[in-house]
Amino acid sequence: MDFKRIEWIFFFAFLGLNLFLFSMYREAKLDQNITSRTNETIPLYKRLASENIKYEGDFSARKRDGYYLSGVPTDFEQALKSERERLKQPDLLSKQTTIDENVLTHTINDVIMMTDRSQVEEVLSKILNQPHLVLFGDEYQYIAEDTNLMNDNPEIVAGQYYEEIPINDPASRLTLRLEKEADHWSVDQYIQTHISELQPLRESMPTYSEREAINTLYINNQIPPNSKILWRKLAYKMTLIVRGQAIFVPTWFIQIETNNNEVKTEMVNAFTNRIITNSVIATVEDQK
């Protein structure tokens, strides 16, 4: 095997990734003046009030530190094998479990009921804290914004996190599917995705604040008049796949309800302050 050639391949792969990350950071600095071109003499809250845009609380000016994170989609076949050996339970999740590529689905036979919405976190914690029921349960946290008990397909959602910032992405999620009965919900099954080997690619950097992200959406006409900002949250989102490695960046998620009762979730890259709501995940593969 030509090890020298392999070394050069890895060298150029990481060099290209670092150049890409540096270019994104540089663009963020160049765009800083553009995204703040709105007349700052008029406070944001006054501009929103002038168009009858409602929200709760104040917009934070805090600039939290975040990372470019990398990780790989978990091989559940291998992970399940390792966990069976560790726990000495050869039948762990052997029944009612299917694995399709990087997605694990498990049907729960034991009856787990919930009679009130206030029990959501308690029920989720009960399931996550059972090693024989969920793999990597201690790596997930409740995501209230994506949890919905009111529609025809009620579900509770949890995601992984890194240094207290959650990952809000389909590649890193545990979804409990519920059955609605007359006076209670019962947990029917869960669907799980997971990212392994999460690690920062470079030193931490300050993010744009919640207030700046809202301002960016406003000056780009993404918050229509007479609408309501339902919630906003900083979380990691996958934006790039480089030779099998998933790259995540801090992202502001802002959910908005328009005057037509339509609900949409806007996304702003917290490093560049650019709107990425409709962006496509780029993929970089090895050149043959």
Is 12-68+201-284 CATH 2.60.40.10? no
d(CA 59, CA 52): 16
Q: Does domain 73-196 have CATH number 3.10.310.30?
A: no
How many C-beta atoms surround the C-beta of residue 204 within 10 A? Answer: 13
| pLDDT band at residue 286 under the 50/70/90 scheme | low
* Amino acid at site 16: G
| Contact between residue 54 and residue 76 where contact means Cβ atoms under 8 Å apart | no
Q: Model pTM?
A: 0.84
Contact 217, 264 (CB under 8 A): no
In sequence order, what DSSP letters do the residues of 175-199 get, joined into one string?
Answer: EEEEEE-SS-EEEEEEEE--EEEEE
What's the CA gap between 80 and 94, in Å, rounded? 9
pLDDT tens sequence across 34-44: 444 444 568 99
**Pair 227, 53: CB distance under 8 Å:** yes
Question: What is the predicted pLDDT for the residue at 248?
Answer: 97
What 3-state class would DSSP assign to 22? Answer: helix
The pLDDT tens digits of the residues spanning 49-83 come to: 999 999 999 999 999 999 999 999 999 999 999 99
Q: Where in the chain is the domain with CATH 2.40.128.690?
A: 12-68+201-284
Which residues in the chain are classed under CATH 3.30.310.160? 73-196
DSSP secondary structure, 116-159, as one string: SGGGHHHHHHHHHT-TTT-TTGGGEEE-GGG-BSSSSS-EEEEE
